[in-house]
Structure 1
Amino acid sequence: MPAARNIAFVASDVPIAQDAMARLSALYGQHDPRDADVIVALGGDGFMLGTLHATQALAMPVYGMNRGTVGFLMNDYGEEGLIQRLEAAEETVINPLHMRAVARDGQVTEALAINEVSLLRAGPQAAQLRIWVDGILRMEDLVCDGALVCTPAGSTAYNYSAHGPILPIGSDALAITAVAAFRPRRWRGALVPNRAVVKIEVTDPDKRPVMADADSRSVANVVSVEIRSEPEVAHRMLFDPGHGLEERLISEQFE
């Protein structure tokens, strides 16, 4: 990226991240995100997602440094040579998912998700779902603990834990993955073009309540959720050379 003269440091609430922000601000200065060349996020993956959502209107690149646990979306933490690291960083642009969830009372909730939109059972019984893709009914009866639609960037998160596929960062696809499918037992999900519109209906919301979640924004008692890629929103993420999302997605499959 071009010269990073003005840096805005943001940090999660944990002491190790707050301490890092104080040390880095003393070394490199602190600027308001609206006046900065780059935002440096200090925390874990959850904080990185929150930072991308909070700053999407600024069209500002975000460079994360891990002061959390896993740090899949983050670079290694280091205080020396930060300006040089930022100037050498490689940019990855990702588009989020748009969720439109309709609750039993008719209330509509819209939200964006960088990783995935998930539907999860909210009671003791399995969810009963019906899946449409571009207006065509593709799955009449899916009985499961839940289902999710993920982006390539989010394919190593909850999707991978649910045995979904890892998608290359440049792939024009979304993954639909079942969570603990009971019927059909062997259904492992599907890949659809990233321009597809996926609609998931809850067929028995009274007996088998379901919640929806978009990057930790939850909606209770949903009856239907429409999910599509949102190309109008672009999140700019910066990674050290050789350690970008593409490399991480490949490496994850060999660990």
Structure 2
Amino acid sequence: MPREFRSIAFAASSADDAQAAFRDLSARYANVPVEEADVIVALGGDGFVLQMLHETMNSGKLVYGMNRGSVGFLMNEYSTENLLERIGTAVDNSIHPLTMETEDQWGDKRFELAINEVSVFRQSYQAAKLKVLVDGRERIAELICDGLLLATPAGSTAYNFSAHGPILPLEAPLLALTPISAFRPRRWRGALLPDRVHVEIEVLEPGKRPVNAVADHDEVKSVVKVSIKQSKTHTAWLLSDPDHSWSDRILAEQFLD
């Protein structure tokens, strides 16, 4: 059954192609302010649609991305034709982000959300030393590496995949814990975890080996502890064309060269 919606808003990144698309679509279709819209059409790349998903978190607004960037894995194909019909028949994907709580070396604490992944990585030329706990149980006493990330299924094809982590189907109740250039334990390649777990990362020797933490695009410097779990109280909604659904894209990605 086609989706019912009252109004759409167009939002575009600063890229020239995105701005040109914004002008074209705004002239063809009624365009209301973002705060008044049921559906937001995001024009840009993956980074821009992530920004829109963060901004619409828990608002109930639907985000429909059209690619005017480079990779565009999260985006639908750009077209000016039949936009209202495409939105009406699009598949909705609910996204529950990760929560990242950090404490830095000065005792300051921060809370951030991550749709793709939470990552920690070395700040200096020296490798990081990390202790990893899952649900309060120590799993790695000392991981020597460039970094470590915890990715959602939505983010498993991004930084996680570049670090040789597994691609996760969108519906999988899993998280991927993936090391970045692990030195010791040399043969540890990561782990698949249930999405209900609580992961804690403690930084060993933080004065000598400083570490930063990042939730999507929000960075915290010189952390000593990072606590991560999936939120059950935050939801964002992303729309995908039925003939090119997000689930299909993730599945297809696993068979590419």
TM-score bracket, shorter-length normalisation: over 0.9
Runs of 4+ in 1 over 2 A off after TM superposition: none
Structure 2: 5+ residue stretches without partners = none
Q: Alignment length, in residue pairs?
A: 255
> What is aligned with 2:99?
98
> What is aligned with 1:200?
201
Distance 2:60 2:86 in 1: 20
Aligned runs of 1:42-191 on 2, under 5 Å?
42-191=43-192
Query: Between the two proteins, what is the percent identity of the paired residues?
Result: 51
Give secondary structure in 1 for the equivalent of 2:25: helix
**Letter matched to residue 52 of structure 1:** L
CA contact (8 A) 1:93 1:237 kept: yes
> What is aligned with 1:236?
237
Distance 2:13 2:206 in 1: 37
Give secondary structure in 2 for the equivalent of 1:246: helix
Give secondary structure in 1 for the equivalent of 2:20: helix
Distance 1:143 1:244 in 2: 38
C-alpha RMSD of the superposition: 0.9
Structure 1: 5+ residue stretches without partners = none
Deviations, residues 8-43 of structure 1 (Å, cap 9, x unaligned): 100001111011011101101111222212110000
Distance 2:49 2:190 in 1: 28
Distance 1:244 1:101 in 2: 34
Give secondary structure in 2 for the equivalent of 1:207: coil
TM-score (norm 1): 0.98
Deviations, residues 132-161 of structure 1 (Å, cap 9, x unaligned): 000000001100000000100000000000
Distance 2:38 2:203 in 1: 45
**Letter matched to residue 91 of structure 1:** D
Distance 1:123 1:72 in 2: 31
Give secondary structure in 2 for the equivalent of 1:238: strand
TM-score (norm 2): 0.97
CA contact (8 A) 2:179 2:189 kept: yes
Distance 2:58 2:167 in 1: 29
**Letter matched to residue 95 of structure 2:** I
Give secondary structure in 2 for the equivalent of 1:200: strand
